[in-house]
Amino acid sequence: MKFAGIIPARYQSTRFPGKPLAMIKNKPMIQWVYENASKALGQVWVATDDERIFEAVRAFGGNVVETLPTHQSGTDRCAEAARIVAKDTDFDVVVNIQGDEPFIKPEQIEVLKSCFQDETVDVATLVKKIETEEELFNPNRPKVVMDAKRNALYFSRSPIPFMRGEQEANWHVKHSFWAHIGLYAFRAEVLQQLTKLEQTPLELAESLEQLRWLENGYKIKTAETSFRTIGIDTPEDLEAALQLF
Give one DSSP letter per residue of 177-223, joined into a string.
-EEEEEEEEEEHHHHHHHTTSPP-HHHHHHT-THHHHHHTT--EEEE
Say if residue 140's pLDDT is above 90: no
Say if residue 245's pLDDT is above 70: no
C-alpha to C-alpha distances, 44 to 22, 28, 53, 57, 161, nearest whole angstrom: 20, 17, 15, 11, 37
Residue 39's pLDDT is 97
Residue 68's pLDDT is 95
> What residue spans of the chain are helical by DSSP H?
29-38, 51-59, 74-85, 106-114, 133-136, 171-174, 188-194, 201-206, 210-215, 235-244
Say if residue 158's pLDDT is above 80: yes
> Structure pTM?
0.93
Question: Coil, strand or helix: which one is 78?
Answer: helix
pLDDT > 90: what percent of the chain? Answer: 83
> CB of 1 within 8 A of CB of 118?
no
pLDDT > 70: what percent of the chain? Answer: 99
Mean pLDDT of 188-192: 98
What is the overall mean pLDDT for the chain? 94
Mean pLDDT of 134-155: 96
Residue 193's pLDDT is 98
Residue 232's pLDDT is 81
Say if residue 142's pLDDT is above 90: yes
Q: Using DSSP bridges, classify how beta strands 44-48 and 3-9 pair: parallel, antiparallel or unpaired.
A: parallel
Mean pLDDT of 204-233: 93
Say if residue 35's pLDDT is above 90: yes
> CB of 181 within 8 A of CB of 128?
yes
pLDDT top residue among 240 and 97 = 97
